[in-house]
């Protein structure tokens, strides 16, 4: 049994018939071929699959695509501004060496952007606390903290 | 030439694609008609497999094929182990289990279906009839006489025994004023690269070519081994490593799934893909550490070390992966630490257990050694009531004693241990820290200071000491348009060689870094290489790039001299290319410079431009063009401007440093909070300081994970308790201190770049530093040692 699904992804209206058990992350990756959203754990622990759903950063491996019916989704591919202008958080990650292997990075960037929206001038402790839902195994997080500080200054 | 790029914190050229989500990891590569594979894995640690019934699964919707051990294991060669040790017992490790399963997660059958969901569904339809056997879990019990035995044919669970070291250890310990003993555990850890493993295989029956995309650290070594396993010509097998989402040693390996996917693709003539789930990653990707050892260290009353013996049981797991038995031998090599110890002995007992194999995890045997040595030094200090800094200082070799010969048989290339220590003591204001600690203790607070002065072995390594070659390769090519292409065998997985190698090339060739492209990770494009592991990529692979450039410049110099019609000795290479030297140019201008005999412009419109020179100067780009047009080259010179060089290092390198941690323990909860973390690391010359800091920080956090949080737990039945990231605790941002980093720079003469390597330093130096700090904090409670991870619960019980 398939169900019809419609949502706006990165500003583009999408409609598909999908299995009700299809995870949102697999809809994005396999159906829409937006492979910037990654899967790192299957248990909602690592945050590599974080996307924006109606403005909120959510873990797309923990919900069905059909639950996002009628929603607006933004993935890392849609994060840069007009003309490819990098989002301040993307810029911060590049400037401050906030990534090594890059696998956690899209989710980390999306979580960090939400953090700055909620707390425009976060302290180091607030940044570290705010990123607790996202795991990085390469950087030791210090450069990620600096990347978020850079972005907060720019925002 | 002035260095514009080397030594600078250049932003990475890798990053734009990664921050936009446009990089391609294995699972991001989509091929038409791809089939998906899911595995049935053992739910028991030790069992006989009586029957595997696939009849229901094979008829399930979307299922194309199911393969069991009976189908595949006789047709695919064993999973390789590259370690050759005397009298090593080698189990026959097949890609799928046949009559027995040896660990939870041991693959039993592979389901192939039209999509990943259908494959996963069908896994549940396969009925495995197990006869449970007694699991062998504890490493020391496993080593004892009497069964049960994992591999019955061996008659015990001992994989090998090895004794190494120099000096008369019995005499040294007998003659020491004090001998201190301690049982020390380096618990099992899971590497947890954020991208799990993944394989995409595509066989083209017409071309008879097999391409395997794999998330690996060693594309070329993998190709060789897979060709042998599958039984196909190596030159018809292509391994591509796209973006790799971290490795930490776990992808320095050859896995059953990689061979099996290739084999399945050949049978079905379709692309097949398998992406590891995190649960599979915890069960069936290698673990690290897993050593239980008994330390004896002898010292004199003044703190001088007399001898060190370490009897260690290494938990190898049920099967070997690529380097499994070799890891404890690296522990043995590094047991001298950065100290003069006249006699050292390691006795390794490698033990089979019903667990997944241990193998190289960031540091690979050296963190274990450093932990033992640095704990030992603190035990000596405590025994003698000496300061932990003084007892270390007392036993350092002086800078002029290098190359320093250790009783483990190594020659350390260079070092200034006192220099790094002094800097760390100054940065942390150590004397004041001790005063503050005394005050805090008087107030009833629980504060500890930990020091670790480490040395590690890097730039692996001379080929004599490596199982499959320790060199690295580079091709440097200047294209007809003047763009520079570098191909390195050291394929990275987050380290940033696309940037750091471009920095080296841009400086050496006087070009902009934007004009350099670094290609890696495709065995059909890149010359044979070894890979990125053992903190070797820059020291060995970067050096190959550097030397290839020097050879390329020699050829370019000859072509330039020819174009300038000058003797090569009168032509100099500078930032804007090759120029007649001033003396010659001055003379030349007086006597009128003859017009050089330029290549004749016979090319039709739209063809390449001609090389240009004003007779005094020719750019590198024009030299490259002349080399490719080949219309006017020096006699007998071969056309083109490309050099491939294979660099063989003459020794390892030995980076070092001092880490100092200050912790405070919450009396009510046992929780550990960092007040300071100071790290002074010496990795020789630095190409990109920002990247080096990133390596150090990431390394320290993995060490901190071992010290405080991480532990792979198997229960008494051999069930994996820490089977997901909800149960296995890797550090999060809020658990960590802000690191204060600095460097000293002691170059090495092992390579012309003077670089030593940095990828594993943090993981090696930091673990004992943190444990030493916590033990120091708890010293007033009579604590002299604690086993990792240091859980608040354990600490709370000690306090109360």
Distance CA B185, CA A125 (A): 33
Residues of A in contact with B30 (CB under 8 A): 33
pLDDT above 80 for B516: yes
Per-residue pLDDT at B601 exceeds 70 = no
Write down the pLDDT at residue B606: 58
| Cα separation values, B643 from A145, B314, B480, B625, Å | 42, 44, 15, 16
Angle among Cα A51, A53, A58 to the nearest 5 degrees reads 50
Q: What whole-number distance in Å separates Cα of residue B486 and Cα of residue B503? A: 11
- Residues 494-513, chain B, touching A (beta carbon < 8 A): 494-496
Contacts of B734 in chain A (CB under 8 A): 125, 128-129, 131-132
Is a pLDDT exceeding 70 seen at residue B602?
Answer: no
Question: Token pair of B391, please?
Answer: 């007892």
Residue B610 banded pLDDT, cuts 50, 70, 90: confident
pLDDT tens digits, one per residue of B57-103: 999 999 999 999 999 999 999 999 998 899 999 999 999 999 999 99
Higher pLDDT, residue B225 or B147: B225
Q: Of B21, B690, B701, which has the smallest distance from its Cβ to A97's Cβ?
A: B690
Residue A2, chain B, CB below 8 Å: the answer is no
Is the pLDDT reported for residue A24 higher than 90? yes
* pLDDT for the residue numbered B612: 81
Nearest-CB residue to B243 (from A90, A102, A145):
A102
Give the 3-state secondary structure of residue B513: helix
CA distance B120 to B141: 37
B16 to chain A: closest CA residue: A94
pLDDT band of B603, cuts 50, 70, 90: very low
Q: Inform me whether the pLDDT recorded for A82 exceeds 90.
A: no
Average pLDDT over residues B601-614: 63
Mean pLDDT score, B3-27: 97
Tokens of B41: 């894995």
Cis previous bond, A104, omega within 30: no
Contact A95, A147 (CB under 8 A): yes
SS3 for B740-789 is: EEEECCCCCCCCCCCECCCCCHHHHHHHHHHHHHHHHHHHHHCCCCCCCC
Residue B600, pLDDT > 80, answer no
User: pLDDT per residue over B463-474, tens digit each?
Assistant: 998 888 999 999
Scan for tokens 């390579």, then name that residue.
B751
Q: Which of A22, A101, A106 sits opposite B21 (nearest CB)?
A: A106
Phi-psi region of B316 (alpha: psi -120 to 50; beta: other; left: phi over 0): alpha
Q: Is A42's Cβ below 8 Å from some Cβ in B?
A: yes
Min Cα separation B250/chain A (Å): 13
Contacts of B237 (CB under 8 A, 6+ apart): B209, B210, B211, B212, B223, B226, B227, B230, B262, B523
pLDDT above 70 coverage of chain B, percent: 97
Q: How far is CA B542 from CA B261, B476, B717, in A?
A: 33, 12, 47
CA–chain centroid gap for B359, Å, is: 11
Query: Radius of gyration of chain B from Cα atoms?
Result: 29
C-alpha distances in Å from residue B609, one per residue of B416, B622, B730 = 54, 9, 57
pLDDT bucket at B598, cuts 50 / 70 / 90: very low
Question: Has residue B607 got a pLDDT over 70?
Answer: no
CB of A104 closer than 8 Å to CB of A134: yes
Q: Is there a contact between A101 and B193 if contact means CB atoms under 8 Å apart?
A: yes
Residue B590 to residue B584: CA distance in whole angstroms:
10
Dihedral (CA of B583, B589, B595, B598) sign: positive
Q: Does B734 touch chain A (CB under 8 A)?
A: yes
* CA nearest to B452, candidates B785, B693, B767: B767
Banded model confidence at residue B597, pLDDT cuts 50, 70, 90: very low
Percentage above 90 pLDDT, chain B: 94
Beta strands in B479-558 (DSSP E): 484-488, 516-519
Whether residues B246 and A93 touch (CB distance < 8 A) is answered with: no
CB contact under 8 A, B698 and A33: no
B648: tokens are 């063989």
Mean pLDDT of chain A: 97
Q: Which of B297, B451, B303 is nearest to B386 (CA)?
A: B303
Q: Is B14 an 8 Å CB contact of chain A?
A: yes
Region A63-73 average pLDDT: 98
How far is it between the farthest Cα atoms of chain B?
97
Per-residue tokens: A50: 């974080």
pTM: 0.96
């Amino acid at each position: 049994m398939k169900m019809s699904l419609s949502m706006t992804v990165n500003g583009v209206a999408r409609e598909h018939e999908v299995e009700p058990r299809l995870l949102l992350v697999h809809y994005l990756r396999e159906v829409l071929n937006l492979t910037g959203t990654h899967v790192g754990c299957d248990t909602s622990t690592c945050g590599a699959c974080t996307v924006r759903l109606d403005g909120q950063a959510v873990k797309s491996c923990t919900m069905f695509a059909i639950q996002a019916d009628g929603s607006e989704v933004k993935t890392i591919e849609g994060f840069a501004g007009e003309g490819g202008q990098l989002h301040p958080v993307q810029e911060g990650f590049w400037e401050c060496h906030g990534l090594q292997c890059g696998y956690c990075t899209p989710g980390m960037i999306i979580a960090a952007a939400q953090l700055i929206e909620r707390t425009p001038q976060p302290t180091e402790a607030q940044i570290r606390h705010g990123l607790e839902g996202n795991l990085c195994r390469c950087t030791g997080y210090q450069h990620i903290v600096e990347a978020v500080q850079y972005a907060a200054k720019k925002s | 030439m002035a260095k514009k790029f080397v030594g600078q914190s250049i932003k990475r050229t890798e990053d734009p694609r990664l921050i936009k989500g446009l990089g391609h990891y294995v699972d991001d590569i989509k091929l038409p008609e791809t089939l998906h594979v899911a595995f049935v894995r053992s739910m028991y640690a030790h069992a006989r497999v009586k029957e595997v019934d696939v009849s229901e699964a094979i008829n399930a919707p979307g299922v194309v094929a199911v393969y069991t051990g009976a189908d595949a294991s006789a047709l695919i060669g064993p999973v390789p182990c590259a370690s050759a040790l005397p009298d090593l017992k080698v189990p026959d490790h097949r890609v799928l289990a046949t009559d027995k399963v040896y660990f939870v997660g041991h693959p039993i059958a592979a389901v192939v279906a039209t999509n990943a969901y259908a494959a996963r569904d069908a896994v549940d339809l396969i009925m495995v009839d197990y006869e449970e056997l007694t699991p062998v879990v504890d490493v020391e019990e496993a080593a004892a006489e009497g069964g049960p035995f994992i591999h019955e044919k061996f008659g015990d669970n001992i994989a090998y025994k090895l004794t190494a070291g120099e000096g008369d250890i019995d005499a040294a310990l007998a003659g020491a004023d004090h001998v201190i003993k301690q049982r020390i555990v380096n618990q099992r850890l899971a590497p947890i690269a954020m991208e799990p493993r993944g394989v995409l295989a595509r066989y083209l029956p017409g071309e008879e070519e097999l391409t395997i995309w794999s998330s690996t650290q060693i594309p070329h070594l993998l190709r060789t081994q897979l060709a042998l396993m599958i039984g196909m010509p190596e030159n018809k097998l292509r391994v591509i490593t796209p973006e790799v989402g971290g490795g930490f040693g776990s992808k320095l390996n050859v896995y059953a799934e990689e061979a099996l996917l290739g084999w399945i693709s050949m049978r079905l003539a379709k692309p097949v893909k398998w992406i590891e789930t995190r649960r599979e990653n915890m069960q069936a990707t290698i673990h690290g550490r897993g050593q239980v050892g008994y330390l004896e260290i002898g010292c004199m009353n003044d703190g001088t070390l007399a001898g060190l013996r370490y009897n260690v049981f290494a938990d190898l797991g049920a099967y070997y992966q690529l380097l499994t038995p070799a890891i404890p031998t690296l522990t043995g090599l590094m047991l001298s630490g950065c100290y003069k110890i006249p006699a050292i002995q390691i006795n390794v007992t490698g033990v089979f257990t019903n667990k997944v194999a241990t193998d190289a995890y960031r540091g690979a045997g050296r963190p274990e050694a450093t932990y033992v040595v640095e704990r030992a030094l603190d035990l000596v200090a405590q025994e003698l009531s000496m300061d932990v800094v003084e007892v270390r200082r007392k036993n350092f070799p002086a800078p002029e004693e290098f190359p320093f010969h250790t009783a483990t048989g190594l020659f350390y290339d260079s070092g200034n241990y006192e220099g790094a220590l002094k800097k760390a003591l100054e940065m942390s204001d150590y004397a004041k820290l001790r005063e503050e600690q005394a005050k805090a203790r008087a107030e009833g607070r629980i504060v500890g200071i930990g020091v670790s002065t480490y040395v590690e072995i890097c730039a692996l390594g001379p080929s004599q000491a490596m199982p499959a070659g320790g060199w690295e390769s580079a091709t440097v090519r200047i294209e007809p348009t003047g763009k520079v292409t570098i191909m390195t065998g050291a394929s990275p997985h987050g380290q940033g060689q696309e940037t750091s190698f471009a920095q080296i090339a841009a400086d050496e060739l006087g070009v902009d870094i934007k004009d350099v492209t670094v290609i890696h990770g495709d065995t059909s494009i890149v010359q044979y290489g070894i890979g990125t592991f053992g903190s070797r990529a820059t020291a060995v692979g970067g050096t190959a790039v550097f030397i290839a450039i020097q050879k390329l410049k020699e050829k370019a110099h000859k072509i330039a001299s020819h174009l300038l019609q000058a003797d090569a000795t009168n032509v100099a290479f500078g930032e804007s290319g090759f120029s007649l030297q001033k003396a010659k140019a001055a003379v030349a201008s007086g006597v009128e410079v003859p017009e050089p005999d330029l290549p004749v412009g016979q090319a039709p419109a739209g063809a390449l431009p001609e090389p240009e020179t004003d007779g005094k100067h020719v750019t590198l780009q024009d030299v490259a063009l002349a080399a490719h047009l080949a219309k006017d080259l020096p006699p007998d010179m071969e056309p083109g401007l490309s050099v491939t060089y294979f660099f063989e290092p003459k020794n390892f390198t030995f980076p070092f440093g001092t880490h100092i941690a200050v912790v405070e323990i919450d009396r009510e909860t046992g929780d550990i909070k960092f007040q300071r973390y100071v790290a002074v690391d010496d990795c020789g010359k630095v190409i990109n300081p920002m990247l080096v800091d990133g390596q150090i920080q990431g390394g320290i956090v993995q060490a901190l994970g071992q010290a405080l949080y991480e532990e792979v737990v198997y229960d008494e039945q051999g069930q994996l308790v820490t089977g997901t990231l909800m149960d296995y605790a890797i550090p999060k941002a809020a658990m960590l201190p802000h690191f204060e980093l600095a460097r000293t720079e002691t170059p090495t003469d092992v390579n012309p770049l003077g670089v030593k390597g940095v990828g594993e330093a943090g993981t090696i130096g930091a673990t004992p530093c943190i444990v030493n700090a916590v033990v120091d904090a708890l010293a007033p409670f009579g604590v002299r040692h604690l086993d990792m991870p240091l859980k608040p619960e354990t600490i709370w019980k000690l306090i109360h």
